[in-house]
Structure 1
Amino acid sequence: MKKVERYFYPAVFTYVEGQEIAVDFPDLHVATSGKDEEDALLSARELLGVVLAGMEEDGETIPQATPLHEVVLESNERAVLVDVYMPSIRLANINRAVHRTVTLPAWLNSAALEKNINFSQVLQEALKKQLNLC
């Protein structure tokens, strides 16, 4: 069966003066929060990905999302449609090594070998830094 690439679920953002923004996914019965709207949206997207990936992995039935216009709200709440791109979430859960061939000048290779540099570790650290993952 083909896996869904992108899910869209309504989240209810609840605003209370002096508190973090509460974020609830009524269809999934999970919640998170954020210090401001951007943080709340990022937290919501992360939670959505983790929950749905777990449900997929466990073979659970993923509930149909309620249409945004049907979400019942209080006066201090707003409905936000949150999406998550699952291929990247699924890949993030795979923590196996992948072999890559790299090309570098012979002098640099020699200097690194002389200092017992771990090429894999250096490449991983550089990629994480370049991708703003650390």
Structure 2
Amino acid sequence: MAKYAYPAVFTPEESGRFSVNFPDLESCYTCGDDMKDALIMAEDALAFTLYDYEREGKAIPEPSVQDDITLEGKEFINYVACDTLEYRKLHNNRAVKKTLTIPEWLNESATSMGLNFSQVLQDALMEKVGAGRK
């Protein structure tokens, strides 16, 4: 889980739309109704693709150097950035039931204090993985 920036090839279309392709990533492309929409869609496509790579344990390729990418016609390059941790938080947020074991004395102490076990565990795990809440 990390922050990434990759060059994307934007292709203007006659209709005013833009096609977007990431030459470094297999099957990573999208489009947008205008430049703003294309940038939003490109970030989403990039984050989804890299999240999938991370989840499957696939090697994440290094981004190309802009000068090494061949362009045609009116194509141009724009770098697109994404954060796969933020993408995970936004799109993969369903609750998962976990069973755990703690010492009885700790259970009694925490219960007497009225602590919410799920919340305490979530807070501790968020701190441990460096994923503070926003």
Normalising TM by the smaller chain, what interval? Answer: 0.5 to 0.7
Structure 1: gaps of 5 or more residues: 101-134
The 3-state SS of whatever aligns with 2:39 is helix
Residues 68 and 80, structure 1, Cα contact 8 Å, conserved in 2: no
1:16 aligned partner: 13
Structure 2: gaps of 5 or more residues: 97-117, 121-134
2:39 aligned partner: 41
CA distance in 1, matches of 2:68, 2:59: 22
Residues 49 and 86, structure 1, Cα contact 8 Å, conserved in 2: yes
Deviation at 1:19, TM superposition (A): 5.2
1:31 aligned partner: 29
Q: Percent identity?
A: 33
Residues 5 and 79, structure 2, Cα contact 8 Å, conserved in 1: yes
The 3-state SS of whatever aligns with 1:39 is helix
AA aligned to 2:88 is R
Superposed structure 1 runs of 4+ greater than 2 Å apart: 97-100
Q: Please, what TM-score do these two structures have when normalized by structure 1?
A: 0.66
2:93 aligned partner: 94
CA distance in 1, matches of 2:87, 2:10: 23
2:58 aligned partner: 60
CA distance in 2, matches of 1:16, 1:94: 36
Deviation at 1:6, TM superposition (A): 0.8
Q: Please, what TM-score do these two structures have when normalized by structure 2?
A: 0.66
